[in-house]
Amino acid sequence: MGLLRLVLVKITVFMVINRALTLKQYVLDSVAAGSAATLFANPAILTAFYTTMTSAATAIQTAINVWTLAPTKGNKKAIKDAMDAAKVIMKSYALQVQVIANLPINAATREQAATNIEQSHLTPQKLGTTKKGKPVQPVITAKNIGTGTVEAKIINPNPFESPKITFFVAISKAPITLPVTPEAVVTVVDGQLKIIAAYAYQFFLLSIDAKGRVVTFKTLTPAMDYTIYSYSKNGDTYISALSVPFDVKG
């Protein structure tokens, strides 16, 4: 008899990594752990696929090396492109690990499936359900969908326990000056949003309830750079960590 409910891989662990060297090492550590684990070694996950993962990590380092020698805007973008490609491959790795870890022949219980996942260097999602407490940190993305219009959304994978309310904040980025003007410092202290900035910034706030995941900012200054943040609350007591910021143009 199979497991009643699959134990999923928590892909946000690597999807939110924004430092190139950190992601590169995470990919290499996954190759080392997975290829050595009995459940995930070839042919369960092919040697050729592990080679693809290693190549993705190498591509990140190559992009870093090129940018170091020639720190142009294009070379900096090449680092992000290499990171995005590595994350796509890591999602494929996570899916393969998830399937193998949950096979009835490999796991009789959900706890055993979670242990299997941990052998691959990936992280299993928490088992069981809990009372509505502190919401998870929102993982967000954003994109320009028109003049002065930006769509922002929560992309935490399911299962995702919806908070009572989620706030989205858009703050204009610092102007380009000499000497450099530092970006605004955004924090949430005791449930209160706190912004410290050395420049006159634009500020926008939207909220969504319960299972909502998408908001649209409609009156941003066209082509101006903004940073989007998000955080969730379950009442006044349980407040999530502030999301990793996401930059977008108005």
- Output the average pLDDT for the chain: 92
**Of residues 200, 208, 118, 211, the one with CA closest to residue 169:** 208
Q: Give 12's Cβ-side CA count (13 Å radius).
A: 17
* 109 in a structural domain: yes
Domain range for 241 is: 140-249
Residues 165 and 245 reside in one and the same domain: yes
* 2 in a structural domain: no
* 150 in a structural domain: yes
Buried b (16+ CB within 10 A) or exposed e, 150-179: bbbbbebeeebbbbebbbbbbbbbbeeeee
Query: Is residue 3 predicted with pLDDT exceeding 60?
Result: no
Q: Would you state the pLDDT for residue 132?
A: 66
Q: Residues 233, 152, 159, 92: what is their CA dihedral angle, to the nearest 10 degrees?
A: -140
170-219 per-position pLDDT tens digit:
999 999 999 999 999 999 988 889 999 999 999 999 999 878 899 999 99
Contact call for residues 127 and 110 (beta carbons, < 8 A):
yes
Q: Would you state the pLDDT for residue 127?
A: 76
* 47 in a structural domain: yes
Query: Is residue 156 predicted with pLDDT exceeding 60?
Result: yes
Three-class DSSP labels, the chain: CCCCCCCCECCHHHHCCCCHHHHHHHHHHHHHHHHHCCCCCCCCCCHHHHHHHHHHHHHHHHHHHHHHHCCCHHHHHHHHHHHHHHHHHHHHHHHHHHHHHHCCCCCCCHHHHHHHHHCCCCCECCCCCCCCCCCCCCCEEEEEEECCEEEEEECCCCCCCCCCEEEEEEEECCCCCCCCCCCCEEEEECCEEEEECCCCCCEEEEEEECCCCEEEECCCCCCCEEEEEEEEEECCCEECCCCCCEEEEC
Q: Would you state the pLDDT for residue 2?
A: 46
Per the model's pLDDT, the better-predicted residue between 131 and 242 turns out to be: 242
Residues 242 and 164 reside in one and the same domain: yes
* 7 in a structural domain: no
* 130 in a structural domain: no
Q: What is the pTM of this model?
A: 0.53
Distance CA 118, CA 13 (A): 13
- Domain count along the chain: 2
* 75 in a structural domain: yes
Query: Is residue 1 predicted with pLDDT exceeding 70?
Result: no
Contact call for residues 171 and 184 (beta carbons, < 8 A):
yes
Residues 206 and 151 reside in one and the same domain: yes
**Of residues 12, 23, 26, the one with CA closest to residue 240:** 12
Residues 147 and 111 reside in one and the same domain: no
